[in-house]
Amino acid sequence: MNRASRENALTGAEKRQLAVASASLGPWRPAAVVGALGGGVSLALHLVHGHFGLGILTGAVSIAALLFFCVGGSGAVLGYSARGSASRDRRFRRWARSHPWQVAAVPAVLMFFTDLVLRQVLTSQGFFGSVWTGLWHGAVVAAVVGCVGVVGAARR
C-alpha cells in the first residue's frame, strides 16, 4: 500500500490525533520564553502610560498566549527537533510538514479557549464579545502557523 492510499485510509479521528501529536512536538520552551517576553513588554508599556486594571493584565496575558501558540505551532509545522529524536517523532514531524493547516488548528483552538476563559474570568466583557475576540485571536494563530508551514514546505 503506497503512502497516498494509507493517508486516505485514515479516519478523521486518526488525523486529529496525528495533528495533536505533531503539534505537541513543537519548541514549547522557547515559545514560552517568547510569550513571556511579549506579554511582559505589553504590560510594561501599559504601565508606563499610566493604565492600570485587570483589562490591561488580560491583554498582556492574551498577547503572551498568542505569541506562545504562534511560535510553538510554527516550530511544530517546520519540524524543529532535538538531536536523536525517535523514528516515531520523525514520522510525526514529516506528517506535520505535509499537513500544516491541520496542525495549525491545534494551537488555534487552544488559543481560542485560553482567550475565552481568560476574558470571562478577568474582565467584565460579555460572553459573545469574549467568543468573538477568542475566535479572531485563534484565526490569527491558525493563519500564522499555517502560512509558516506552507512557506516552509515550499522552501524544502
Mean pLDDT of all residues in 144-153? 90
Residue 7 banded pLDDT, cuts 50, 70, 90? low
* Distance between CA atoms of residues 9 and 128, nearest Å: 39
What does the pLDDT read at residue 49? 84
What's the pLDDT tens digit per position in 40-99? 999 999 889 887 888 889 999 999 999 999 999 998 888 775 444 555 577 777 887 888
Model confidence, pTM? 0.84
Cα angle 117, 65, 33; round to 5: 145
The total of structural domains in the chain comes to 1
Counting residues of the chain whose pLDDT is more than 90, the rounded percentage is 49
Residue 3 banded pLDDT, cuts 50, 70, 90? low
Phi/psi region, residue 66 (left: phi>0; alpha: psi -120 to 50; beta: rest), is alpha
- Cell 511579549 locates to 38
Counting residues of the chain whose pLDDT is more than 70, the rounded percentage is 88
What does the pLDDT read at residue 84? 47
- Residue 9 has φ and ψ, to the nearest 5°, of -80, -10
Note down the domain range covering 88: 3-155
Cα-only R_g, the chain: 17
**Mean pLDDT over the full length of the chain:** 85
* Distance between CA atoms of residues 18 and 152, nearest Å: 19
Which stretches of the chain are assigned E, i.e. beta strand?
A: none
**Is the pLDDT reported for residue 39 higher than 60?**
yes
* Distance between CA atoms of residues 133 and 131, nearest Å: 6
Residues 6+ apart with CB under 8 A from 39: 60, 61, 63, 64, 65, 67
What does the pLDDT read at residue 30? 92
What does the pLDDT read at residue 83? 46
What does the pLDDT read at residue 129? 93
Q: State CA 22 to chain mean position distance.
A: 12
Is residue 76 a contact partner of residue 103, using CB atoms and an 8 Å limit?
A: yes
**Is the pLDDT reported for residue 15 higher than 60?**
yes
